[in-house]
Structure 1
Amino acid sequence: MSPGALRDALLQARGVLLVTRAPQAAPRPAPGQPGAASDYVAAQPDIFVALRDNGEILAFNGHVDLGTGIRTSLAQIVAEELEVPAARVAMTLGHTQLTPNQGPTIASATIQISA
């Protein structure tokens, strides 16, 4: 299934609990940090977490792992909040069709900014 088709399927599916927000442009950078090159706003809501009725847990974050371990850290945060083992969380990072537009990945600031 293509990323766009997965997003559409999650938004239209029955038996799926979604944690979403209304679409919005990436946050403005703090002084001295690189900024978003675009004010693009997606047409569909941003999906952060999807819990399927088959027990599958999908989590989405717009940043990428640059060796700081955010894939593991973010999956652990989701798992702890849901009170499930971290191995049950499938984490998708930085995919333009699937993840929220959370602005640029800046060193290890992902946890402080978007967790």
Structure 2
Amino acid sequence: MFSIFINALAASFLLAAAGLLIYLFLVIREQRTGKFKRMPSRYRYQKRKSFFKRKSPVSSHRLGRRLICLLNGDVCTAERLFDHAYWRYPGQSDSWVLEKVIYDLERDRRSV
């Protein structure tokens, strides 16, 4: 009687382990095939502070407003692009950096 109980317990343990392995296999396969969607960039960078601890000229500058219009009102992406270009080209003025970002954005859109 006791051996039947142990055999049933071992069988249920093996069944649970097999189920866990199948579940892990399916999760890993879904992750590798890319079925998990990434969050859009406007959400990923929403809580991020500006690269430099200063007010970004994106919203106050004429070229900054043009950049925001090119990005369909996405201020977070505009600030992210400005911060990256400002970091990449140190010593350049804010106007130059904004012109560079706008030029690169328009150039990339032409090539598509």
Which structure has more helix as a fraction of its residues? 2
